[in-house]
Structures are given as structure tokens and as C-alpha cells.
Amino acid sequence: MAKKILLLGAGLSTKSLIKYLLNNSGKYDWKIRIGDINIDNIVQKTEKHPNSEAFLFDINNNKQLYEEVSKADIVVSMMPARFHHLVARACIDNNKNMVTASYVSPEIKAMEQEAKDKGLLILMEMGVDPGIDHMSAMEVINRLKKENYRITLFKSFTGGLVAPKYDNNPWNYKFTWNPRNVVLAGQGTSMFIRNGSYKYIPYCQVFRRTERVFVDEVGEFEAYANRDSLKYREIYGLEDIPTIFRGTLRRPGFCKGWDILVRLGMTDDTYFMEGLENMTYREFTNSFLPYSKTFCVEEKIRKMFDLSEDSLTLYKLRWLGLFSNEKIGLKKASPAQVLQHLLMKKWKLDEGDKDMIVMQHQFEFEKDGKRQQIHSSMVVYGTDEDTAMSFTVGTPVAIGTKLILTGEIKETGVKIPVVESIYKPVLNELKQYRIKFTEKLIPHEEITEPFSKL
């Protein structure tokens, strides 16, 4: 009898996921039922495949949610993260396993014992970051532990960026995922540990304290700190590690420009601005600057941030259009929403553009007084068929779904892919889909202390 896969949500990150499930549907006798608030999202991705079925789905319709879950053998939730706990609740109530790419929320974590008691698996964090980062890190960490090495440093960096061939703006960046998340990135306090000392970076300093990262295939990057690196000590079994840090990759110079937008207040999402209806971007910028009878907007920016007239950072701000007389065209918005509105025009992927995902883990480990390092790096490029972001998010979710349905993954409870029974088969299959890591061993005599302002 055919197994029924219920996929809820058919947004940007689901193209490769849907393709994988449909391509394997004949072999495994699957029927894939896909629900979304916009049915066109589904039709574009399924091309009316005979083993697919599309339907209009509203996550706020609890009766529809429970009816759909009750008829499925497994549920894949690709809804916005704030809705996953509703899907998880319906899955547990209906005795169904669930897979998603998103972080474990407190609401879902609270369901763990109930899922275990029912023999169910809620498998989360199965995308790229979180997901592939967990799996690839744990593969190396467990290997080093088996060889009795003491791991003294772990750093992990990921970036969704435009591929070098299509990198043609002064920010060296284009949107490859949710623009709102990019605009609000870094908010809160970043926490990590370095050489045994706890470090805390408030939002106002995050983009001023960066670390340089070099990846052989694609060159140099800078990394700013992710919010909470400390929790990964327990997740990865590195409770006593002296240094652990996770960061997001951008090309050099990006963070200096973004820091100015943060310090001006343009990324604030806590209030709505007055007078937007007739405001230009130049007036928007000036609204964050001191009043002056003599200095123009550009001069005030230069003086406030100590920029020369020919500064590349000033050019980046000008290129964005922040000094232009173009009308904003919004009636009610926060500063962050105004900035996002502008960036979605300036940082959009042009037709034919390709993106890339870059990930690097750095491990330092020692035995018998000798230190060594491993740099484990992955670069995945987008194709004509799909973006690298969608591909690396959707493919591990799809593989995890298959492994649960075929009985290869037998875990129960709320899990993320840090146990070998999950990450090993997923990583092995990902290699067939050009998602693989290259390791570079740095022997004791070649280790140099990296430059870092962190």
C-alpha cells in the first residue's frame, strides 16, 4: 500500500525537496500531498506529477490541519518557523512522525517525552544551517574522539552568498534567502568562549568585531558572531572546550557598511515611522542624523563615521540609494521595513544569477603535546534548476524523510541530526548530490594564531 507523505508549505526552499520526493515516489510507492496558501507555488514545483496532489492549506484552520495529518504516514513541515509547534502537536496527537528544517523551539522541546512515549520522531534542524552544519561537524568530532584527541577549538562558519561570477555590486551580496532575516540578523547579544574566557558582543558591536576566514575554492570572507555559540558545547558533546564560536560569512567590507546602518538605527523594527508617505530615501537617512544648517546628508554621514570622501563604505551607501530623492512609497513601516524595501530592489538576484552556500568548520585538537588543525569546507553552487540555498535546505530534509519511512532511522523523541544513526546515512547520500566536504589538515609546525578582533 502506498505511503502518504504530507508536505505543508511549498515556498522558496522546497523545490529540491519536492523534486527528490517525486523522483523517488515510484521506487518507494509514495504519494505526496502538498498544501500551501498559494496553490501556484505547488503547481510550479510538481509539474502535475502523477504521484503528487496539491491543495489549498491554511495553517490557521486547525480542523483542516488535523484531518490532513491524520491521513498521512509522515508529515514534512516547511511552514514559517512560528507554525511548526502547531504541526508537531497535530502529529503527536495523530501518532505521526514529522521532519522539518527549522530550529527546535521551546514549545516543541516540551513535547519530547510525549513523542518518546508514543514511539514517534520529530526530526528537526535538517536543513543546511541548522542541519548539514550539525552532521558534518559531528562526523569529525566523533572521529577525533575515537582517536583519543582532545578537541581544544571548534569554529563553524556558514554563508549564503551570490556566486563569484555573478557578484557584481559593491556590497558583494544579494538576497538568497528571507530578506527580513538578513535585515534583522545579529540582534540580541552574541555569546561564545575563547581560550577559556566567556565573550559577549552586544548588537551595537557585532559587525565591528569580525573574523577573517579563507576557503580555498572561493577566497576570503569575514564572519560576524551568531547569537549563541555556547549552547553547542552540550549539543556537540564539547562541554570542556576552551574555544567555540559560530559565525555568518560575508565578503570583506560588508560588515563595515552594515555596521553604519545598524548604528544609524535603520535596522530597528520596534516602531513605525511618521511621515513616510511623502518621504524620500534621502530624507529617511537624514531622519537619523543631527540637524545642521550647513552640512548636507553625505557630509553628516562622513563626519559621524569618520569616512573620507572617496571611501568605499560611503560609495556603498550611495549605491544603495540612501542619498537619493526617490520616494519610498510605503505608508506605514518600521526603519527595518523601509531598509528591506530598498534592499529587495538593490540586492535581488538578477535573471540568470546563481548563488552559493559556503561552510567551513575549523577544529584544533591535540595529543601527546602536539596540536593539529582540520579545516573542513563545503561550497555548493546554484544551478539553472534550483538555488544552492533551496538545494541544501531541501535535500537533507527529503533524505531524512525517506530514511524514516524505510525504517533506517529508528530514533524517537524530538531529535536533531547529531547522532551517528542519523547523520551518517544522510551525509553518505548527500555526497551523491554534490554536497560534500573537503578536509585540509594543518600539522603542528604550520599552525599560526589567526588574526581576530573577537
Digits of tens for pLDDT over the chain (454 positions)? 899 999 999 988 899 999 999 999 999 999 999 999 999 889 889 988 999 999 999 999 999 999 999 999 999 999 999 999 999 999 999 999 999 999 999 999 999 999 999 999 999 999 999 999 999 999 999 999 999 999 999 999 999 999 999 999 999 999 988 899 999 999 999 999 999 999 999 999 999 999 999 999 999 999 999 999 999 999 999 999 999 999 999 999 999 999 999 999 999 999 999 999 999 999 999 999 999 999 999 999 999 999 999 999 999 999 999 999 999 999 999 999 999 999 999 999 999 999 999 999 999 999 998 999 999 999 999 999 999 999 999 999 999 999 999 999 999 999 999 999 999 999 999 999 999 999 999 887 777 765 455 6
pLDDT for res 308: 95
What is the structure's pLDDT at 444? 73
Please answer whether residues 74 and 6 qualify as being in contact, where contact means their C-beta atoms are separated by less than 8 angstroms: yes
22 and 153 in one domain?
Answer: no
Helix axes 39-46, 15-23, angle to 10 degrees: 50
Name the residue range of residue 281's domain: 272-333
The rounded distance, in Å, linking the Cα atoms of 9 and 396 is 16
Residues 214 and 283 in one domain: no
Same domain for 145 and 243: yes
142 and 111 inside one domain: no
Judge if 233 and 118 occupy the same domain.
Answer: no
Angle at 155 between CA 150 and CA 161, to 5 degrees: 155
Boundary of a domain, candidates 124, 142, 160: 124
Same domain, residue pair 251 and 371: yes
- Residue 414 domain-assigned? no
What CATH number did the domain enclosing 253 receive? 3.30.360.10
Based on the domain organization, do 286 and 240 belong to the same domain? no
Structural domain ending residue among the three candidates 124, 148, 172: 124
Residues 169 and 312 occupy one common structural domain: no
- The residue from 124, 155, 183 where one domain ends is 124
- Asked whether residue 82 is domain-assigned, the answer is yes
Contact 393, 127 (CB under 8 A): yes
* Opening angle at CA 197, ends 364 and 184, nearest 5: 90
Distances (CA, A) of 299 to 286, 313, 314, 379: 11, 13, 10, 41
pLDDT at residue 451 in the model: 47
Tell me, yes or no, whether 267 lies in a domain: no
pLDDT value for 424:
97
In this structure, the answer to whether residues 91 and 9 fall within a common structural domain is yes
Q: In sequence order, what are the residues at sequence separation of 6 or more whose Cβ sits closer than 8 angstroms to the Cβ of residue 354?
A: 162, 163, 165, 166, 381, 382, 383, 387, 388
Cell matching residue 218 = 572561493
Beta-strand pair 370-381/197-201: unpaired
Task: Check whether residue 304 and residue 161 sit in a common domain.
Answer: no
On whether residue 442 sits in a domain, the answer given is: yes
- Residue 369: predicted pLDDT: 87
How many folded domains does the chain comprise?
Answer: 3
Instruction: Identify whether 418 is part of a domain.
Output: no
Q: How many CB atoms lie within 10 A of CB 385?
A: 10
For residue 91, give the CATH number of its domain. Answer: 3.40.50.720
- In this structure, the chain runs to a length of 454
Residue 158: which of 274, 245, 33 has the closest Cα?
245
Residue 454 lies in a domain: no
Q: Are 41 and 68 in contact (CB under 8 A)?
A: no
Q: Is 411 part of any domain?
A: no
Residue at 71: amino acid letter: K
**Looking at the domain assignment, is residue 46 inside a domain?**
yes
Q: How many CB atoms lie within 10 A of CB 285?
A: 22
Q: Are 45 and 184 within one domain?
A: no
Distance between CA atoms of residues 88 and 85, nearest Å: 5
- pLDDT at position 44 is 86
Pair 221, 192 in one domain: yes
Q: Model pTM?
A: 0.94
